[in-house]
Structure 1
Amino acid sequence: MKKTLLLLVFTALLASCGTVSKKKKAPAKVTEAKEKKKTDKNGIQPYNKVITKEAVSDSGLFVVHKIKEKFFYEIPTNLYKKDMLWVSRIAQIPTGLGGGYVNAGSKTNEQVVHWERFQDKLLLKVKSYTNIADSTKAISKSVSVNNYEPTLFAFDIKAVNNDSTAVVIDVTKFFTSDVKAISGLGTRLRKQYKVKKLDASRSFINSVKSFPLNIEVKQDVTYDASEPPSNSATQTISLQMNQSMILLPEEPMQPRLFDPRVGFFTVSQYDFGSDELKADQKTYIRRWRLEPKDPAAYARGELVEPIKPIVYYLDPGTPENLQKYIKQGIEDWQKPFESAGFKNAIIAKDAPTPEEDPEFSPEDIRYSVVRYVASTTRNAVGPSVSDPRSGEIIESDIIWYHNHLRSYRNRYMLETGAANPSARTLNTPDEEIGEMMRMVIAHEVGHALGFPHNMAASYAYDVEDYRSGTFTQKNGIAASLMDYARYNYIAQPGDENIRFIRQMGPYDHYATNWGYRVIPGANSAEAEKTTLTSWIEAKGDDPIYKFGRQSSRFDPQSQTEGIGNNPRKASDYGIANLKYVASNLPNWTSNRTNNYNDLEELYGELLGVYSRYAGHVVTNIGGVFENIKTPKQGGAIYTHVDKDEQQQSMQWLHNNVFETPEWLLDPTILQNIDHAGYFERMRRLQSRHLNNLLSFDRIGRLIDAETTGDQYYSALDMLQELRSGLWSEASRGGNVDIYRRNLQRSYLDRMEYLMTDKGPTARRGRVGFESTLVFNVSTSDVRPLVRGELVALQRQLRTAKNIGINKVSRYHYEDAIARIERILNPEK
């Protein structure tokens, strides 16, 4: 009985121990369940667990889904490693960002990307076409391993679709993080505004849209910044970015090799598979893919329509009274395309209504649109998107900002009002405003077709030709619409039948033919080269067909806003007209409106116009003509401006800029637009050109002229003539007025800068055609020349201060003597 009892107790204890043991293992089972749940959450899940019934989906290049505040991409596997162009643009911008040089629509980055799977992640890789090689050549392997593609972002694969043809990723974090490669704030702006970080709590995805060839994302991003450009109390910069991802053509267009003698935007590559004994740089022009519908007829020289014309749609928000001028500006390029053998190559259309095409969207990469932006910005731009593999332009949107017409009205009055009665009003006739808009649109379309500014086109015409009605009505005011030659400011009162507004020119036909004509039988870029070169050489030295790049700030032929082949003479005419306008400005503005707002605005812009005319003459001094040519054409590419012309330009500056231009100091204007600051306004105006003259770059070119062995205008010549004119009171006797005292002290400030600054450290411009001269200032003639001029001036002033001048002038000279002493002997 006891044995039985003991056995029962022992059995119970074993059972009890077993129960306790099981209870201790239970938490382990719970942990396993949690781990399994955690794995399911972070790993690849069933499709319907990720893309739920709540999803709002949009099909296109691939399907995008929105679920509450999250966005998902469903990327087909057949798009892996397909080249896509990622374009980042600013869609909306805070006031003052970039100091006026950044606008809504500004592109901040353009890069080729592709998607690539790695284990359970999808990588967004940045691909470069800078270094290339034919894939059939062994060196292509070396190019690949020595140009490893950076990973822009790694996405966890959330799900695979039901037939395993696509994977799903969550892109929410990507677009709400500070990914600098797609940011609207580059390093310079971040430093300038002291940006600390992107605030994810105030950053979000505004919209994601999928189209057949592109995905468009609008993201609102907010940064913490100590010194924002506006609304400083908020310590915040907010902007909206537009991110475009565009599928590039499967078969790249046949590229066309660039020649610097014809102006085109370009893309460049280094070909390591070249037969040259180095990586061969190949530069291709950017252009649309135009192919004739009937190649045989085209080869016979007949005009043929392209398979796919260039079509621009008008923004539905475009004001009705402006629509016809925009269409005309677009289709003005039909004639140049006819010179290239194509008819109806470019067409303007109204955007379809929602009833006609409910799927139409300006953001769809298949459509190019002239967008009308209700903004106070005074600008218009013609950006385009191109394939970096071939230069093919895929799409472009012309952006017109509403207030831009005001700029043209103002300049029309200021630059042509003396000779053009219809410009002497704030209410410019509708047809003339329309003609201006038409030409601006045509100019921006030109950019979108691949053409940069051609600043030499206005230098093709003689200054006196601008006073001929017969000449200007036929030829306009420049050989190309792509010059910054907006108005004929040379024509004088009494000249008849003058054209004042720019128009398409012969260079535009020539460049369009060179860039777009299909060359039958030429099946590679290299095979076209002989023909393309012959077209250029056939035009020889004819200035009508010359291209002058905008970056040539040393070349008097290629100046922005200038017209005519003699800057000094053209500016004489321009200033004569401005004097007439300045004397009548109150009559044309405040006397009619009974307020001074327009007078103030136009007077400020008049000073800018005057300053441009002066700047054109400054370029003559130390100027170098750039005429790009091959050895076969003969002659030097670079030649210095004639010595006599430089000396006359210096005298012109003394007469028109440094001797106080009192006609700009009309009390009936100044005393009605500001209570003070008249002398400072004049000092800034004069100092701008004084500092431009006394730049390391210009002095360096004048020194360099000595090495040519020709008759030259030297740096010493320039410095002596400048000093003699600026300090003429010290030579001839007489008091120094307030404007001249300010100018002379500005001269001393600039001379001190030349004695202490190291000079420019980097050249600017396209490689091989940089415009800024960089040299070792401390070992050059700059400091000895400046020192010599200061010593001579100090000696002169010590005498002049004691010869019959008023007390203010004497104090001025004594101060100047002390300043020079400090510059020459800073350690005393």
Structure 2
Amino acid sequence: MIRAAWKSTAWMRLGWNSFRTSVQILLWLTATAVAAETTAIAASTPSLAAVSSGRGGLMLEQSAVAKEADSDSAASNNRPNGLQPFETTVRNLEKIEGLFTLYRNAEKGTLYLALSPQQLNHNYLLVATLDSGIGEAGLFSSWPLNDALIQFRRAPNNKLHLVVPNINFRHPPDQPGGQALLERSYSDSILAALNIISIEPETNVMLVDLGSLLLNNDPANILAALSWGLGGYSLNTSTSYVDQVQNFPSNLEIESVLGFSGGGDSFLFSGFASIPDARGFSLRVRYSWSDLPTNNGYQPRLADERVGYFVTAYQTPLDNRRQDPFVRYIQRWHLEKQDPTAQLSPPREPIVFWIENTVPEDYRAAIREGILMWNAAFEKIGFQNAIEVRQMPVDADWDPADIRYNTIRWSDSFQPWAEALGPVRVNPLTGEILDADIIIDANVIRHLTGSYRTLASNLDASEQFYGQLCGHRYQSYLAQWMLSQANHSLPQLLENPRQLAVVPEALQRQLRQRCVGLATAQQTAFGALALATLQLGSTDRLDLDTYIYQYLRALTAHEVGHTLGLRHNFRGSLMLSPAELHDPSITRSRGLVSSLMDYFPINLAPPGMPQGDYFPMRLGPYDEWAIEYGYKPIEAIHPQLEQQALRAIASRINQPELTYGTDEDAFTLLDPETNAFDLSNDPLQYAQWQMQNAQAVWQRLENGYLLPDESYSVLRDRFETVFNYYFNQALTVSNYVGGQRFNRQYPGDVDGRLPFEPIALEKQQAALETLQTYVFAADAFNFSPQLLNQLAPDRWYHWGSYGLVAPLDYPIYDRISLLQGIVLVDLLSANRLSRIQELELKANSAEVLTVSDLFASLQQGIWRELEADSVEIGLLRRGLQRHYLNILSGMVLRSYSQPTTFLELITVVETMSAPEDARVIARYQLRQLARQIDQVLRKQGRDLDVTTLAHLEDSRERIQQILNAQRVAQ
């Protein structure tokens, strides 16, 4: 499962190191965007100096022969063809046969690649994986870096080009001359021009310097892939070398060690906390070269947007018979029955996963079961034991990074970015999955057993809190806000605040990835805390063991789903009613969710209800249906001839349990039910239950939940964990207002649903009532001074743990004000108001929430005190009411004062483009509010406490100024 986190006024008051760390993270992310959007990594670097190896590895030292060839010196040009004699060049070198022929000298650091003419213009898959990491900044062991289809092509002047062929455009085979036209229209990508050192006269085998290619030319573009995590470091060629080389008939495995230096201490970057000296570190990178399978009987399968598969796509611009120029293949394994006539048959070659020997024995059973869970879906389409699980021996003579093995790998990190990851390597011509490796971060266990401590030790409080903005537009605003503060560009930035919303897609992807890991950790952290505080008794230990087992099993199954080709399904949690969630007879026969490809939260029963399964224990109906679409054997000799059978499968999407919505659907924030970390067919009810659970945990903390030898910082961490969870539920609820369901349906699907369905009026009204009760109400956040005065931070100050300098006390007002403020801005954002306005045209007017309804409801709830016989307005309510006035003031005047906090910045950017109807209604509501305040002041003015009196008088004057200013402007 893979979501990012950040801060406002409270953030501005964090200590120096916490601030700097947050900015570092965002700068790394920004570097990725810049690298991806605007520039390319240089194709080569200066030649390496001769160095010696203290590890017995291959240090890359250019021999005299190689130096002459690389420099194209006058001396080499005087020789016939400028080449070295082949026998002389390879003499005394070890010959290594396999996919390619290699020659090497371990002592001198020589590594040559010999290519036969038959290997030219041939497709190979090059995969780069990070085989070691530093445990932070996204530089993690086992993480994928890049992969590419490459060819070696002969070029003039004794050059060999490393080329990525352009397979994005392909021509129909029945159109002569089509390929020549495409080649003139669209360019291939040349990654490197290698000097041919020597050619064998009889076989025409060409010799090139492979070590120089890997270290100087970066063929897999790994520096671009790593740029977002490298901070102030750059590649140090003098400490880089090629280490292990393993050559097999179908693949070549090479491990390079890349040295990095730089770092240093500056305002924005002071090096990594996990390395002993900030001046340098090294990363091991595994290069896997493999031959692509050909004529193996695999038939590509066409994709359908109603079923969630990753796709391999290309265009056929010369095929005028197609309405859509794209051809899209789903990504899937090559799975065939041993006996095609049998109703149930083992596959000819099963999908085999190896559990790496580093996975702790305590968790292997849960991981094994999570993998094998998918066999139930394959059995329904005729495959027996389609997936097998094997345990990697302790003394295995193979490496888990070897592309021939699909592995479940165990990793550890100092600052995790994701609990697990399931990358695959795919044949880019056909969509056939060739290899998969699932990485599980060891921190997942720490999160499950007490992550409220782990989170606090590795992440500052601002990151934890702002993790609740995951999936919302505000995370990108925060990134640019922090960067502008750091480089003093805030004044220029505020001249055009709209530019804050323009964030490169690469940066958005990195933010979302960071976001997923943090949000998932917060979910599991709250679950562990709730189990520890709400379900005390003799079964405590059993409950925690069950919690860990069920989550690890379901997490593994989710990642295996990705390696089978499946995308996320964020509508997968909508299958059961709230009442059914905790009935094991239902959840274990039908499933807890319709799809494991959702981001499922902990299924935590509300206070007073018996607890059922915490996490899904089996596949859901959608999972089985998706596997049917992707893997059901269909007798057809061409992908197009499968269309009728595939469309019949996909058309069943009208069944409620097969509904599907994926990442790009969720990120639009249009459909409140295409959402992560919600549950049941009534997510509003579920969110209410979870806010009740959060309140119950807070009450337990009020009553004292610290052991004598525990620090008060543990209590602070627990309190913050609950606050983050509560915030997440509030944002889930707010998205129902003005929401629309988006259905991935075709006109021919049976039930006749339309793609867009406005959320029912009663649902939107229920969402507003929930927010009034749990977010805006005067008694929504009642914490005793006894509890608040115990929320002390830890006072450790050393590498990896920097104590807060300010605020030393817990900023409860800032926390609550930001939560309320973000929710209020979310409800009154220009985007949401425009959607609500449009719903008047898209829904029956009697069944739609209007802009005026929304303003009236919010104003009545936020200013409810004005209806009381004796008015008294507390601190939090005064802050909320001022924020409400700020929003309406900006809408009415179409002008904004310069924001000084993150919340003010979001308010400006999110509301400045509100529709004209909203401006008119805002002005009307201000006039009504002024009358109410005036009545209270006339009737109760002498009886009001001074603070309430001052607040109301100030509010009345502000409203009058706003209305007068608008009248003057008109």
Scaled by the length of structure 1, the TM-score of the pair is 0.82
Paired letter, 1:702: I
Cα displacement (A) at 1:640 = 0.7
**Contact 1:481–1:503 (CA under 8 A) maintained in structure 2:** no
Partner of 1:266: 311
Q: Is the 8 A contact 1:339 1:510 kept in 2?
A: no
**1:290 to 2:335 alignment:** yes
Determine whether 1:639 maps to 2:757: yes
State the Cα distance separating 1:756 from its structure 2 match.
6.2
Task: State the partner residue of 2:640.
Answer: 526
Contact 1:272 1:278 in 2 (8 A): no
Aligned to 1:144: 183
Number of the residue aligned with 2:42: none
Contact 2:833–2:915 (CA under 8 A) maintained in structure 1: no
1:410-429 pair list within 5 angstroms: 410-414=525-529, 429=544
Residue 404 (structure 1) shift: 0.5
Who is 1:762 aligned against?
none
Alpha-carbon shift at residue 341 of structure 1 (Å): 1.1
Correspondent of 1:332 among 342, 358, 373: 373
Q: Secondary structure at the match of 1:575?
A: helix
1:479 matched residue in structure 2: 594
Once residues 912 and 322 of structure 2 are traced to their aligned partners in structure 1, the CA distance between those partners, rounded to angstroms, is 33
Greater shift after overlay, 373-382 or 787-796? Answer: 787-796
One-letter identity of the residue aligned with 2:767: S
Deviations 1:666-708 (A, max 9, x none): 5555433323312122223333323332333322211221222
How far off its partner does 1:490 sit?
Answer: 4.0
SS state at 1:457 partner: coil
Per-residue deviation, 1:35: 4.1
Say if 2:213 and 2:219, in contact at 8 Å, map to a contact too: no
Measured against aligned partners, the alpha-carbon deviations of 1:368-418 in whole angstroms (never above 9, x if no partner) come to 000011334361111111122221111110101111023234343346668
Residues 111-133 of structure 1, C-alpha deviations (whole Å, 9 max, x = no match): 32211110211111122322211
**2-structure distance, mates of 1:180, 1:320:** 38
Q: Deviation of residue 638 (structure 1)?
A: 0.4
Counterpart contact for 1:213–1:247, Cα < 8 Å: yes
1:112 to 149, 153, 166: 149
Match of 2:656? Answer: 543
1:362 lines up with 2:395 in the alignment: no
Kept after mapping to 2: 8 A contact 1:417/1:581: no
Q: Distance in 2 between matches of 1:799 and 1:477?
A: 54
Q: Write the mapping of 1:442-453 to structure 2, written as runs, cut at 5 A.
A: 442-453=557-568
1:358-757 equivalent positions in 2, closer than 5 A: 358=397, 360-376=398-414, 377=416, 379-409=419-449, 410-414=525-529, 429-490=544-605, 492-495=607-610, 498-504=612-618, 505-520=620-635, 522-537=636-651, 539=652, 541-550=654-663, 551-552=665-666, 553-585=669-701, 590-591=706-707, 594-596=710-712, 598-633=714-749, 634-659=752-777, 662=780, 665=783, 667=785, 669-674=787-792, 675-711=809-845, 712-729=848-865, 732=868, 734-747=871-884, 755=894
Pairwise CA distance, 1:466: 1.8
User: Aligned-pair distance for 1:559?
Assistant: 1.6
Alignment partner for residue 321 of structure 1, among 356, 359, 362? Answer: 362
Deviation, 1:338, is 0.6
* CA contact 1:228–1:235 (8 Å) conserved in 2: no
Deviates more, 1:326-335 or 1:792-801: 792-801
Shift in alpha-carbon separation, 1:390–1:781, aligned structure 2, 3 A = farther
Q: Paired residue for 1:127, among 162, 165, 182? A: 165
Deviation string for 1:727-748 (max 9, x for gaps)? 3345657343332333344445
Change (3 A) 1:155 1:262: same
Q: Is the 8 A contact 1:418 1:492 kept in 2?
A: no
Aligned to 1:761: none
Q: After superposition, give the CA deviation of every residue in 1:260-279 in whole Å (9 maximum; x if it has no partner).
A: 22221222211224343656
**Structure-2 separation of matches of 1:603 and 1:809:** 30
Deviation at 1:149, TM superposition (A): 0.5
> 1:156 maps to what in 2?
195
2:119 matched to 1:79? yes
Check conservation: 1:216, 1:243, Cα contact below 8 A: yes
In structure 1, stretches of 5+ residues that fail to align are: 1-33, 758-773
Q: Which of the two has higher C-alpha Rg?
A: 1
- Distance change >3 Å, CA 464–CA 778, structure 1 → 2: closer
Cα distance in structure 2, aligned partners of 1:277 and 1:382 = 34
Secondary structure of the residue aligned to 2:594 is: coil
AA in 1 matched with 2:637: N
- What are the superposed Cα offsets for residues 609-655 of structure 1, whole Å, 9 maximum, x if unpaired? 22222222112111111122111122311011112221221121111
**1:257 Cα deviation from its structure 2 partner:** 1.4
Q: 1:95 to 1:680 in 2, by over 3 A?
A: farther
Deviation larger for 165-174 or 400-409: 165-174
Indicate the larger mover: 818-827 or 783-792: 818-827
* More moved, 312-321 vs 35-44: 35-44
Contact 1:123 1:154 in 2 (8 A): yes
After superposition, the Cα gap between the structure-2 partners of 1:816 and 1:97, relative to the gap in structure 1 and judged at 3 Å, is farther
Q: Which residue matches 2:294?
A: 250
Could you say which residue in structure 2 is the equivalent of 1:348? Answer: 389
CA distance in structure 2 between the aligned counterparts of 1:648 and 1:571, rounded to whole angstroms? 12
Shift of residue 74, structure 1, vs aligned partner: 2.9
Amino acid at match of 2:854: M
Structure 2: gaps of 5 or more residues: 1-72, 450-524, 793-808, 897-909
CA pair 724-40 structure 1, distance change in 2 beyond 3 A: farther
Equivalent-residue separation in structure 1 for 2:344 and 2:372 (angstroms): 16
CA distances 1:562-589 after superposition (whole Å, capped 9, x unpaired): 1111122222222222322332358896
Q: Match of 1:122, as an amino acid?
A: L
1:347 maps to a residue whose letter is E
The answer on whether the counterparts of 1:467 and 1:492 sit within 8 Å (CA) in structure 2 is no
1:395-450 C-alpha deviation (Å, 9 max, x unpaired): 11010111102323434334666875579858854454223212211111111111
> How far off is 1:776 after superposition?
11
Give the aligned residue type for 2:319.
Answer: S
In the TM superposition, residue 155 of structure 1 has moved relative to its aligned partner by 1.1
Between 617-626 and 628-637, report the one with greater CA deviation: 628-637
| Higher relative contact order, chain-length normalized (CA < 8 Å, sep 6+) | 2
Select between 276-285 and 338-347 the one with higher mean Cα deviation.
Answer: 276-285
Q: Larger deviation: 547-556 or 362-371? A: 547-556
Identity among equivalent positions (%) equals 24
Alpha-carbon distance change, 66 to 677 in structure 1, aligned in 2, over 3 angstroms: farther
Mean Cα deviation higher: 305-314 or 581-590: 581-590
State the alpha-carbon separation in 2 of the partners of residues 82 and 134 from structure 1.
Answer: 21
* Root-mean-square deviation (Å): 3.9
- Deviating more after overlay: 219-228 vs 667-676: 219-228
In structure 2, the residue matched to 1:9 is none
Residues 149-192 of structure 1: CA deviation (Å, up to 9, x unaligned)? 021111111223575353222244444458596134469949xx
| Superposed CA offset, 1:286-325 (max 9, x none) | 111101111222xxxx111111110011111111222222
